[in-house]
Amino acid sequence: MRFQRLIPLFLAAALLPALAFAQSDSSAWHRVELKPAQGKALPYTIEIPGDWQVRQVENTPGLWIGPADAKPPQDPRLIWVRGSQTALNDPEAVVKNIRENDAKEAAWTAPRVEVKELGGVRTVLVRMDSGEGDKARSTLALKVPFQTVAVDFMASADRAEFEKMLPTYERILLSVRPVADAAK
């Protein structure tokens, strides 16, 4: 009987980190440019919680978006922005290719693969799951066109943490807009 009274406390304790993350000063979300320390900014902006920042990490390609105290690459609160060699001139072909590879590959699955139009730009959103048990991981990636290839926005975590954070990952990734559209 005593244990049954403790169950709600255990559940609340388990949910607190996810709730704190998901409500990370949500009234203060703001749109930021994606600018590396050197070079030109990417032609996209993204909406992030007020206490997050865009930064580069020495010896790691790409940009990291997340709270200042998040340590790349392990922290599941981080969004990694990196270049991709995938051409995105035909998003439907990319979706078809991912689905065909998913059918052939046992090491991972792609339960969600779709073309999304964001600010007039056709992108590909894909969820990939791999591993089992305590090795199970999930990644939500948004592929956006950039020059002749693509840029990937990736959020990844162990499966249990991923499920808790999925609404926040989606809100952030689906907020990506071309710079011209964000200025409107």
Band (pLDDT 50/70/90 cuts) for residue 11 is: very low
Quote the Cα angle for 130-135-140, to 5°.
40
Q: What is the pLDDT of residue 180?
A: 77
Cβ 146 vs Cβ 43: under 8 Å: yes
Q: Whole-angstrom Cα distance, residue 117 to residue 57?
A: 30
CA-closest candidate to residue 95, choices 69, 103, 42: 103
In this structure, are residues 96 and 115 in contact, taking their beta carbons and an 8 Å threshold?
no
DSSP state of 4: H
pLDDT in tens, 100-130: 999 999 999 999 999 999 999 999 999 999 9
The pTM score is: 0.83
**Banded model confidence at residue 74, pLDDT cuts 50, 70, 90:** confident
pLDDT tens per residue, range 26-51: 469 999 999 988 888 999 999 999 99
Q: Which pLDDT tens digit goes with each residue over 131-173?
A: 999 899 999 999 999 999 999 999 999 999 999 999 999 999 9
Mean pLDDT of 65-78: 92
pLDDT score of 8:
42
- CA proximity to 78, closest of 153, 3, 137: 153
pLDDT given for residue 110 in this prediction: 97
